[in-house]
């Protein structure tokens, strides 16, 4: 066995003095082997440092016990935590998990997805709001797939997303009760994940007689700050909009930052509400008021959807709604009259 090469089943077989099929049976766990042979194989495998060659396994079986996770952006706390939670879930069920990340642009996201397909992963978690539905449909037809945080109608993929409708109703009720009649919605049109939340919020706001103006900020802090700095002085204040509702935590932080530098105190002069926050690992500059996503819950639902598909590949796609909880921070108050 040359140095730069991992031992194979044949090496183990030779070392243990049995045939390679016996080794395969023992190590994979299906198929019979005498206790003596079993013991000897295990010892030999351990001694040689044997590790299964997933490539060969994949080739022969056509499918791996490996789940691929596509993350829109590994640096976003939500996706980072999602990766972590999914890894735990996979470990528990004795699956492998690998993650890839797009980097802002759609091309690299598509490329990341390619990587997973080329590796012939047995299941796919799509944590991306920018991938078009056609792309999802193309892969979902081939292997069990779960789309996270967005709808994926007609693609055949399972969906796990936030309960946008409930959140919208609650948020509008809160704003209504505290006297807000005109607000700004910080939106991100480039993300499919924004769609259900935007729609639900606009519907709820309209029903409550709240006037809502859309401001395109995107999800990230930098661009949001720029957009907010322009929009807030122009559209907010007494007699104008008295609250900003943001689809993302970063956009909400940007709203507070922009308000403060425009001389609008938060929450005295302006309320800021985040529709989608994550539990933060470190203390942020402001204690936002809003709805906190239960990432672990999302990961659990996702894994459940995936295993359901492993068990029954023909099962009809389902949508599961993840729970959200309200966090009473320090950025919401009554409307200035």
Partner DNA sequence: TTGAAAGCGCTAACAA
Partner DNA sequence: TTGTTAGCGCTTTCAA
Strands 243-246 and 271-278: parallel
User: In the 8-state DSSP scheme, what is residue 76?
Assistant: S
**Site for DNA contains 30 (CB under 7 A):** yes
Q: CA 311 → CA 4, 66, 189, 307, distances in Å?
A: 38, 15, 36, 6
Query: For residues 48 and 187, what is the distance between their CA atoms, to the nearest angstrom?
Result: 57
Q: Count CB-CB contacts under 10 A for residue 15.
A: 19
**Site for its own copies contains 55 (CB under 8 A):** yes
User: In the 8-state DSSP scheme, what is residue 335?
Assistant: P
- Residue numbers 98-157 binding its own copies by CB under 8 A: 98-101, 103, 108, 111-112, 114-120, 138, 141-143
**Residue closer to DNA, measured from CB, 30 or 337:** 30
- CB neighbour class for 56 (10 Å; exposed up to 12, middle 13-18, buried from 19): exposed
- CB neighbour class for 171 (10 Å; exposed up to 12, middle 13-18, buried from 19): buried
**Contact pick of 28, 91, 189, 325 for its own copies (by CB under 8 A):** 91
Contact string 43-82 vs DNA (x = CB under 7 A) = -------x-xx--xx-xxxx--------------------
- Provide the minimum distance between the beta carbon of 7 and its own copies in the complex, in angstroms, as a whole number: 11
Contact string 11-50 vs its own copies (x = CB under 8 A) = --------------------------------------x-
Strands 324-327 and 289-293: antiparallel
The site for DNA (CB under 7 A) is made up of 5, 8-10, 18-22, 24-25, 27-28, 30-34, 36-37, 50, 52-53, 56-57, 59-62
The site for its own copies (CB under 8 A) is made up of 3-6, 49, 51-56, 58-59, 62, 64, 66, 68, 73-77, 80-81, 83-84, 87-88, 91, 96-101, 103, 108, 111-112, 114-120, 138, 141-143, 220-221, 249-250, 253, 257, 281-286, 313
């Amino acid at each position: 066995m040359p140095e730069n090469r991992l031992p194979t089943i044949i090496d183990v077989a030779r070392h243990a003095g049995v045939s390679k099929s016996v080794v395969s049976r023992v190590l994979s766990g299906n198929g019979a082997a005498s206790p003596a042979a079993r013991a000897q194989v295990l010892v030999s495998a351990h001694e040689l440092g044997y590790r299964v060659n997933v490539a060969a396994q994949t080739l022969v079986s056509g499918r791996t016990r490996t789940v691929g996770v596509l993350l829109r952006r590994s640096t976003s706390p939500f996706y980072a935590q999602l990766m972590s939670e999914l890894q735990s879930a996979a470990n528990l069920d004795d699956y492998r998990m690998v993650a890839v990340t797009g980097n802002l642009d759609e091309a690299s996201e598509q490329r990341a997805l390619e990587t997973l397909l080329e590796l012939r992963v047995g299941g796919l978690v799509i944590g991306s709001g920018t991938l078009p539905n056609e792309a999802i449909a193309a892969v979902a037809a081939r292997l069990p797939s779960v789309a996270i945080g967005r709808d994926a109608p007609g693609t055949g993929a399972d969906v796990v997303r936030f309960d946008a409708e409930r959140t919208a109703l609650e948020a509008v009720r809160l704003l209504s009760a505290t006297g807000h009649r005109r607000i700004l919605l910080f939106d991100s049109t480039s993300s499919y994940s924004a769609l259900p939340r935007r729609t639900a919020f606009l519907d709820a706001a309209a029903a409550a007689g709240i006037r809502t103006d859309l401001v395109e900020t995107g999800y990230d802090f930098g661009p949001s700050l720029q957009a907010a700095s322009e929009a807030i002085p122009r559209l907010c204040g007494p007699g104008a909009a008295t609250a900003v509702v943001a689809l993302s935590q970063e956009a909400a932080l940007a709203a507070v930052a922009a308000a403060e530098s425009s001389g609008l105190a938060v929450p005295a002069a302006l309320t800021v509400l985040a529709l989608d926050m994550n539990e933060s690992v470190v203390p942020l500059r402001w204690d936002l008021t809003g709805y906190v996503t239960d990432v672990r819950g999302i990961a659990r639902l996702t894994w459940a959807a995936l295993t359901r598909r492993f068990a029954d590949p023909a099962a009809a796609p389902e949508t599961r709604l993840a729970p959200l909880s309200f966090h009473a921070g320090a950025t919401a108050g009554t409307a200035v009259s």
